[in-house]
Chains A and B, each alone.
Chain A
Amino acid sequence: MVWMRRLLLGAVLSVGPGLPGLVAAQDELASRACHLDGWSDALRCFRVAVGADDSELAVMVAPAVNDSEREPLYLLAGGPGQAASDLAPLLNAFRKINRERDIVMVDRRGAGLSGAFRCGFEREMPADLQQFSRRLADCYLQRPDFAESLSSRQTVEDLERVRMFLGHGRIALWGGSWGTRTALLYQQWYPESLSALVLDAVAPIDTKVFLTATAAERALQQLERDCARDPVCARFGDWKGQLAKMLNGWSAEQAASFPDPLTGGPVTEPLARWVLANAIRGALYDPVAAAQIPYAVHQAGRGNYLPLSGITGLFQNHADSMAMGLTFSVACAEELNRIGADEVAADSEGSFLGSAFFDLFRSGCEAWPVSSKPYAAPAPREHPVLLISGSADPITPPYYAEQQLGYLSHRQHLVVAGGGHINSRRGCIPELISRFLEMPGEPLEQACVADIHRPPFMADAFGPALGVSAVSVERGDQL
């Protein structure tokens, strides 16, 4: 009986602008059951041919529990260089949305399961910038045309092709980090295909998001303020000053004797100053890690580098999710191309990070000579847009969303106090996203966002302070 219904449904849908027969066929032919890490239910996987050169996109669909024909939600990953298939754990938070809507993940060309362009950096990243550039240059020379072809434009075109392939009408997009840029560009180029946007950690089209030093500095300042307000953390005093001192005076000896968080011995390669500064910046992405910075810096000031090493260990696994070739193709052509030296200087001025993050990309882009691919100025759009920011996000702070998105007339903004980079999984945010998608035009009741707090600060070697104790009061005097 079901096959009869499918046949009927297929016939009805194919009357539309789609390709006749394809809609009915994709159910039976092209998809197979598959799984992604971080989500236990089966997904439907497709390979969609794109472009002239046999390229195929990996498309993964988490089918709606109920087939209610509401517009599907596409997830767009960050980076650039991350794969949507790595976002599968997000499905746990989006379970409610998935009840009524298909959730679609498309790995863009050069990422994840669509032929990841990794340049062999999946295991380790050399700490030496020159060595890094040299390896990058070798990688570029192996596939210069491919490197040149990767761009946001191509990704958006591919996404549109996938939308038609799946027979979807209008679609909603969730973008995270760089994925928000892709989503905003899709909105510019295919406004007719779009119903609503959910943008978490927004990188507006006009914002030079690779200038991160000021944003990171502000996130650190906010951490300092929140720490000063916390009776336990306040005891660490001027830890931020200590951090500046440590970074400024980082010596070869300190770099060589820094403990390795995985082996317990000293690091095999000296920990360069720029790597350390980036590790602090990286810790600010995640409030759980950020809550450990004051204690770790305080300890480092007394010669104990173990906690600081532990923080760098929190991110050891992250490098392999980024396809470096893709990252540089897009970043060099669409971001680094429009950033001048004076802007870098202005951004780095007075920040703990300086140009430590930017230098990595600048030297990388010198080895990656793709042509500049500038965007046109964004045109006004009326789609409902939900913006989500963490107030202490070190790379896409809330003021990006507030200052650069005036051309979106129907936007609302959720700001998570003390939140880091990406907040879609926290507290009531999944519920709010679900409500927004149900009624995109209605203003959301945002009160519950205030219930999302920073995790407890690390108080001492025992972890967070559960309460006030005789022991901690005693120790407090020593600090």
Chain B
Amino acid sequence: MAMDRIISLQMSALLRKEMLETWRDRRALWMAICFSLLIPVMLAGTMVIVVKKQTEESTRLVLLGGDVAPLLEQRLRSDSLEVEALAEGEPRALLAGGYDLVLQLEEGFVDRYESFRAPKMYLYVDSSSTSAGRAERHLQERLGKLQQLVVSQRLTARGVAPQLLAPWQLQVRDVSTPSSRGALLLAMVPGLLILTLFVASLATSVDTSAGERERLSLEALLMQPVPGWQLVAAKMLAVASMGWLGSLLAIAALVALMPVMPLAELGIQQATTASGVITMGLLLLPLALLVAVVQILLALRSSSFKDAQTQLSILQIAPVMLLMVLDAARVDLADSYWQLVPLVAQQQWLKSLLVGDSVSLPLLLAGSMVCLLLVALSVAFGARALRRESLLGAT
């Protein structure tokens, strides 16, 4: 009984010390907060801008020689395409002067059109410009409609039913659901949330391990009559608290920004539920612990503070890259055994919860248990490593 009390007293003192040091470090705290907010804000921002550009911003077209073809000018004009008919002009200069496209009509265009000699239109486009592609789509859409009208009238004039041009009807049947469309667009988000976890705990984990060693306070700590595992666990908890806070903040920001994101315009359901958000937060906790302890172990292994920083920077990129590669390679990660692999499991769960799908509770528990088991092993491993003299020798 007394022994237990001593252990818990020592442990809580240790934990208090580690927490205090972690949370007192304003710079690390601010970095965690900023990075956590950065990703959701960037995601929402890009989405808003892209959709706004696609739907609202109109593109500008010059119709060179269009003064003789008012119907063409009138029919090409739309909400998304401004059309200006000019009698003359230099296409290159016009493109340089702020127009997105220049459509030049051949000399004698209308006469050739009326005598069925398929007159030419020349489309000048600067394909290196960002709006050229969009402008060209707008133009093709309008021009296609007008062409259809002309063809239909020509056929009617010859007594041909226009449906003769369509020997069959192709009906597209899209089997995606709003949530699966969302999964496609939001596929990056889980990886980024996990990255946040790594980044937010990075500074703290380096400081509490390699940093303490360089400040020579680690030696003092090791001289205390405290079991090694308690030392590692205390540090891990402190570091994980920072990482977890970062990812919680990122989730909160993401969910808060969702109403701003034009998801519905993209045909995506905004389906993240309140219970889903809580689950997302909870399922990241074991991962936060694992990331923290691995970061601490790596930093302790490194030869210096700087070396630790380098190693951990690689560590934070590597898993996220791996996840993205696995995703891009279309490895089927939805299988149940993948959900026992840390990182992959959390990514899959986050992905499902983000689009409002459900996650199997037994698998979630099993996967988290695997993660916690690895945490325990790492702590034990760390405790053994702390006993080695060489650990302190590194400078």
Contacts and interface: CB of A to CB of B under 8 A. Distances in A.
A317 B269 CA distance: 37
A431 to B, nearest CB: 10
Contacts of A308: 159
A261 interface: yes
Contacts of B359: 1
A469 B71 CA distance: 12
Interface string A22-60: 000000000001010110111000000000000000000
A60 to B, nearest CB: 14
A5 B157 CA distance: 60
B164 A469 contact: no
Interface stretch (A142-150, A367-375, A384-392, A459-467): A459-467
Contact of A310 (B69, B155, B178): B155
B155 to A, nearest CB: 6
A310 B358 contact: no
Contacts of B109: 466
Interface in B47-101: 68-72, 75
Contacts of A377: none
Given A66-B269, A464-B153, A467-B72, A310 B171 contact: no
B72 A296 contact: no
A311 B163 contact: no
Contacts of B149: 288, 455-456, 463-464
Contacts of A292: 153, 156-157
Contact of B157 (A63, A259, A264, A461): A461
Contacts of B153: 292, 458, 463-464
A34 to B, nearest CB: 9
Given A463-B153, A471-B114, A306 B158 contact: yes
B156 A40 contact: no
A5 B276 CA distance: 10
A341 interface: no
Nearest to B154: A463
Given A65-B269, A99-B264, A316-B161, A311 B156 contact: yes
Contacts of B279: 1
Contacts of A463: 149-151, 153-154, 157
B173 A65 contact: no
A288 B152 CA distance: 10
B156 A307 contact: yes
A470 interface: yes
Interface string A308-322: 111101101100000
A199 B162 CA distance: 30
Q: Chain B contact residues (Cβ within 8 angstroms of A): what range?
A: 35 or more
Given A288-B149, A463-B153, A259 B162 contact: no
Contacts of B160: 261, 264, 310, 313
Contacts of B269: 65-67
A462 B156 CA distance: 10
B172 A40 contact: yes
A259 B155 CA distance: 14
Given A3-B358, A463-B149, A471-B115, A296 B273 contact: no
B163 A317 contact: yes
A305 interface: yes
A305 B68 CA distance: 32
B113 to A, nearest CB: 6
Contacts of A288: 149, 152
B114 A462 contact: yes
Contacts of B169: 37
A317 B264 CA distance: 35
B174 interface: yes
Given A259-B159, A313-B159, A466 B72 contact: yes
Contact of A65 (B110, B178, B357): B178
B353 interface: yes
Contacts of B211: none
Given A464-B149, A466-B69, A35 B158 contact: no
Interface in A277-308: 288, 292, 295-296, 299, 305-308
B114 to A, nearest CB: 5
A264 B115 CA distance: 23
Nearest to B115: A471
A262 B276 contact: no
B71 A461 contact: no
Interface string A445-479: 00000000001101011111111111110000000
A295 B269 CA distance: 50
A469 B68 contact: yes
Contact of B356 (A2, A41, A264): A2
Nearest to A462: B114
Given A35-B173, A40-B174, A310 B72 contact: no
A464 B150 contact: yes
Contact of A468 (B110, B174, B264, B270): B110
B275 interface: yes
A4 interface: yes
Contacts of B174: 40-42
Contacts of A470: 111
A314 B71 contact: no
A471 B114 CA distance: 7
Given A65-B268, A317-B163, A467-B68, A4 B156 contact: no
Contact of B161 (A313, A455, A461, A467): A313
Contacts of B152: 288
A100 interface: yes
B358 A469 contact: no
Contact of B357 (A2, A100, A466, A472): A2
A42 B177 CA distance: 7
Contacts of B114: 460, 462, 465, 469, 471-472
Interface in A238-261: 259, 261
Contacts of A33: 175
B227 interface: no
A44 to B, nearest CB: 11
Given A42-B177, A65-B178, A462-B154, A467 B110 contact: yes
A1 B353 contact: yes
Contacts of A469: 68, 110-111, 113-114
B353 A38 contact: no
A458 B270 CA distance: 48
B144 interface: no
Interface of A: 1-5, 33, 35, 37-38, 40-42, 63, 65-67, 99-100, 259, 261-262, 264, 288, 292, 295-296, 299, 305-311, 313-314, 316-317, 455-456, 458, 460-472
Given A37-B171, A460-B157, 6 more contacts: A66-B269, A308-B159, A313-B161, A314-B162, A458-B153, A463-B150
29 contacts: A1-B275, A1-B358, A40-B171, A40-B172, A41-B174, A42-B174, A65-B263, A65-B268, A65-B269, A66-B269, A262-B161, A262-B164, A288-B152, A292-B156, A296-B156, A313-B161, A313-B163, A456-B75, A458-B156, A462-B116, A463-B157, A465-B110, A467-B72, A467-B110, A468-B68, A469-B68, A469-B113, A471-B114, A471-B115
Going nearest first, the 8 A-B pairs with the smallest beta carbon separation are A313-B161, A306-B159, A310-B156, A469-B110, A463-B153, A261-B161, A467-B69, A309-B159
Interface of B: 68-72, 75, 109-111, 113-116, 149-164, 169, 171-178, 263-265, 267-271, 273, 275-276, 279, 353, 356-359
